[in-house]
Structure 1
Amino acid sequence: MKKIILLFAIVCSFTSCNVTESIVFDENGSGQFLVTYEMGEAMKAMTAAMGGEDSDSEKKKGGEVMDTTMVFADIMETYKDSIAALPEEKRLAMEAVKDMFMNMKMNEDEGVMNMGIGLNFNSIDDLKNINEKIKKAQSLNSQGDQVGSMKENSPLGNFFGSDDNKTGYILTENSFSRVTKIDAPEADEEDAVVELFDETSESNQEFIEYFENAFYTVKLTFPKTIKSVSVEGAEFSKDRKTVTYKTNWIEYLKNPKLLDVNVEFVNE
């Protein structure tokens, strides 16, 4: 029974889940990269599936509230003896993400459940292997093995996205670019995109409805004013230094390049 509950919890964590990728740049080119998984709706669905809303007496006690940040470097120092005894795969994963952090915000009464994985970077070059670092950070979660198994052995694995796609970031004095590289020879990249996700597949259609309201959002903040962006429908902050755009999760699975963007800055 416990395994079934755990499996359901993992499924809920990846269905109806909104993902936000945020990058904030400082004047000197440093900044913060953060990917946040908003799982509030999944939490509500899981609560309903496990027996519905709490009774009035339980509500009066107040739900769990959590707001914590874990810095991997601090964890490695505090628990260095225990980490040294970990299996090599886990130990190497800790080494690879020691400059990253993970935060968790939860408020059961308000239906908030957000998990973020981030990096405070010194320059754009620090983001070269960010996809791999995020993957390793996720693998450190106690549920990492179960999720990995689901990705390989369950139809739901098709909805988690490809681990092989790489996202690159280019920052110059006058522009910024987000570029997705599909793991395929240059000549075959267009065909590779077509094969990433087949929404007509019978096994995929069984789960598509759970992801219809899920989105992948990109939010970019710069020290300079934005002149133009290559994505239609993007929204700007009042000072035009932050741009936000998104795409439906299914559309993102079909073509991750939909989130690529070219940003031009005002020549100040």
Structure 2
Amino acid sequence: MGVLIGCDFSSSPTKRKGIVCAKGAQAGGRLVLQGLEKLASLDEFSAYLESEPSWLGAFDLPFGLPRELVVAMGWPRDWEACIRHYAALGRDDIRTAFAAFCDARPAGGKFAHRATDFPAQSSPSMKWVNPPVAFMLHAGVPRLMAANAYFPGLQIRPTRPDADLRVALEAYPGLIAKAVLGSRSYKSDEKAKQTPERLIARKDLVNALEMGQTRWGVRLKLSHAQRDALVDDPSGDSLDAVLCLVLAAWAELRHIAGAPLYGLPPTMDPLEGWIVSA
């Protein structure tokens, strides 16, 4: 099987709080974690994407905007044209436009949602604060496009064989975390909230991944050092990258079993996109 990537993305990475990418491959019925890499800039992220000739990656950032929003803005309704239009805007322009859209709507329904937000319980992709996923889309998807990635369900599949493809899927690590932990929190960037309870939750989550005790049916293989690194990262960034890697492995298995869209629903909206396995 091929190279797999799981990515915990940031729209404004720094050396202190960077993008984390987990690389792995499936062998002998297990997903083997081959390494974790922290990237301190968007240019480092682009270089990472180009470092392998082919991969299947699951990235924790939205790939599309709500159709309702796109129509209201008068933006192109073709996905690629919409993304190129969006990428040409500045962040201040995006913030102003989205704030005006929200201000015109009633309380309790300020944001437009994609269809995938409801089963995934994810933040609306137009949200620009806490978390700023609108800026994650703005920063990340154009760089994936520049790396000549193929976006299943959003683009026509290239004629190249799988061995020559870079396949990008939208992921949400919270899908697996919530399935294993329920409402228990396992991470925080705030020192005061990096509690023993969250440490125990990370241990429980890693144990469930190693035992394959999730509905995704992927069993993770870790070294002792890798396990310690995941548990000892209170921010959860490394663990989130590995959760995305698990989703990439699940998608690879679906593809091998004959699913043309790597497990994405064939009825997905080709403008909005879909979170893998939601």
| TM-score after normalising by structure 2 | 0.25
Larger relative contact order (CA 8 Å, sep ≥ 6): 2
User: Whose Rg is larger?
Assistant: 1
Q: Which of the pair is proportionally richer in strand?
A: 1
